[in-house]
């Protein structure tokens, strides 16, 4: 008998999904201005609704509840993006270093080598060596463990040494990133 109720709820939710997904995605788009994010937020909202479907379907206005969930998720996403932009701006504002007579070819080589690293290794190397973050701060910024930062940084530096064929890779990375800071990062 529980299966009949579950099947009825499933059919009802599926109909709700079909009727309102596009509208909820459009709402998310208008709130965030990002189409990919909008689809993700609409899907996340509907997943949250499914988990509480018994309460949602008993509400007077389930669609209004769904819109509220989308709005809250969009607000959270926007706040997260603003915090991230502030962190990035803070990193760049703290950089007062100027490189005299930079090795432009070296900068280009380091940037190209960094691009060849998988994202996590690249992020660890850049945060540790270009931004001089501690292992703990790097782990916090990336949402990983300190052990992962140590491992990925070590592997990333080894790969950079292999790609660049140099023993002074940390200094090259630091110099390349300092040069990027002078140009405002526009030439990446």
- The per-residue pLDDT for range 105-151, each reduced to its tens digit, is 767 778 888 888 888 888 888 888 877 888 988 888 888 899 999 99
Q: Using alpha carbons, select from 8, 9, 38, 34 the residue that is nearest to residue 23.
A: 38
Give Cα 138 to chain centroid, integer Å.
Answer: 14
Q: Contact 175/99 with Cβ under 8 angstroms?
A: yes
Contact 127, 136 (CB under 8 A): no
Q: Which residue has the higher pLDDT, 3 or 103?
A: 103
Please write the tens of the pLDDT for every residue from 45-87: 999 999 989 888 888 888 888 888 999 899 888 888 888 887 7
Classify residue 143 as left (phi > 0), alpha (psi -120 to 50) or beta: left
Share of the chain above pLDDT 70, in %: 77
């Amino acid at each position: 008998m529980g299966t009949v109720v579950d099947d009825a709820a499933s059919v009802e939710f599926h109909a709700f999904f079909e009727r309102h997904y596009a509208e909820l995605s459009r709402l998310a788009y208008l709130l965030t201005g990002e189409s990919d994010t909008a689809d993700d937020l609409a899907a996340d909202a509907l997943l949250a609704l499914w988990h509480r479907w018994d309460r949602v379907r008993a509400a007077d206005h389930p669609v209004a509840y769904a819109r509220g969930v989308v709005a809250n998720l969009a607000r959270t996403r926007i706040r997260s993006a603003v915090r991230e932009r502030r962190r990035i701006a803070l990193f760049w504002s703290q950089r007062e270093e100027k490189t005299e007579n930079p090795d432009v070819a070296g900068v280009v080589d380091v940037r190209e080598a960094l691009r060849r690293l998988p994202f996590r290794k690249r992020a660890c190397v850049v945060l540790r060596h270009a931004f001089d973050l501690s292992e703990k701060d790097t782990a916090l910024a990336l949402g990983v463990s300190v052990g992962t930062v140590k491992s990925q940084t070590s592997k990333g530096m080894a790969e950079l040494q292999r790609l660049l064929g140099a023993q002074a890779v940390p200094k090259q990375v630091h110099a390349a990133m300092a040069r990027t800071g002078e140009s405002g990062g526009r030439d990446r």
